[in-house]
Amino acid sequence: MARKAPFKERLSRRFSILEGRTRRTLPNAGPKHPSVYFHMPKCGGTSLSEAMYATVPFNHRIGVIDAVSTRRAAAIKHFGKDDMFLCHEDVEAGQLTFDMREDMLLQHMAWDTMLIHGHCLWSEKADAHFGETYKYVTLMRDPVARMISNFRMTQRAGLVGKDVDEYLESDVARRHAQVFLRYLYGKNDIAAADTAAATEVAKERLSRFALVGFLDNTDAFFSRYKEIFGVTLRMAKLNAAPSKKPNYSQAQMDRFHALCAPDQEIFEFAKTL
Query: Amino acid identity of 153?
Result: M
- Residue 168 to residue 148: CA distance in whole angstroms: 11
Can you list the domains of the chain with their CATH numbers? 13-270 (3.40.50.300)
Q: Please answer whether residues 113 and 243 qualify as being in contact, where contact means their C-beta atoms are separated by less than 8 angstroms.
A: no
**Mean pLDDT of successive 10-residue segments in the chain (273 residues)?**
67 90 94 98 87 97 98 98 97 98 99 98 99 98 96 91 95 98 98 98 99 95 97 72 72 98 99 97
Q: What angle do CA 221, 225, 228 make, to 5 degrees?
A: 140
For the chain, the three-class secondary structure string (H helix, E strand, C coil) is CCCCCCHHHHHHHHHHHHHHHHHHCCCCCCCCCCEEEECCCCCCHHHHHHHHHCCCCCCCCEEEECHHHHHHHHHHHHHCCCCCCCCCCCCCCHHHHHHHHHHHHHHHHHCCCCEEEECCCCCHHHHHHHCCCCEEEEEECCHHHHHHHHHHHHHHHCCCCCCHHHHHCCHHHHHHHCHHHHHHHCCCCCCHHHHHHHHHHHHHHHCCCCEEEEHHHHHHHHHHHHHHHCCCCCCCCCCCCCCCCCCCCHHHHHHHHHHCHHHHHHHHHHCCC
- Residue 24 to residue 55: CA distance in whole angstroms: 6
Q: What is the pLDDT of residue 9?
A: 80
Q: Please answer whether residues 57 and 21 qualify as being in contact, where contact means their C-beta atoms are separated by less than 8 angstroms.
A: yes
Q: What is the pLDDT of residue 1?
A: 39
